[in-house]
């Protein structure tokens, strides 16, 4: 199997990790596969943070609009 990269699926990483570990006492394939999975997780977390920021800004804008509506209808 070829070396995995950040676009590899979990199945590919698992196969790569198990493939060379029988003969390699240091478990280098496993360590490399785990490191790639950790980087994949960090990339996903970064994307999640970005969308959470958008949601927070949207929530704040809705809050301001609600306050504006309350002020506008209180004067009537």
* CB-CB contact of 29 with 16 (8 Å): yes
**Domain positions in the chain:** 10-74
Predicted confidence at residue 26, as pLDDT, reads 73
| Interatomic CA distance for residues 4 and 8, integer angstroms | 6
* CB-CB contact of 36 with 4 (8 Å): yes
Q: Report, as an integer, the average pLDDT of 51-63.
A: 98
Please state the pTM of the whole predicted model.
0.68
Predicted confidence at residue 22, as pLDDT, reads 66
* CB-CB contact of 39 with 6 (8 Å): yes
* CB-CB contact of 1 with 15 (8 Å): yes
Q: Report, as an integer, the average pLDDT of 39-63.
A: 97
**What digits encode the pLDDT tens for the residues 1-44?**
678 998 999 899 988 888 876 677 778 888 899 999 999 999 99
Predicted confidence at residue 18, as pLDDT, reads 83
């Amino acid at each position: 199997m070829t070396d995995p990269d950040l676009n590899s699926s979990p199945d590919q990483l698992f196969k790569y990790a198990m493939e060379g570990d029988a003969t390699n006492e240091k478990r280098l394939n496993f360590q490399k596969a785990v490191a790639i999975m950790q980087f994949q997780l960090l990339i996903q977390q970064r994307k999640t943070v970005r969308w959470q920021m958008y949601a927070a800004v949207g929530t704040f804008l809705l809050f301001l609009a609600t306050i504006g509506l309350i002020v506008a209808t209180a004067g009537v």
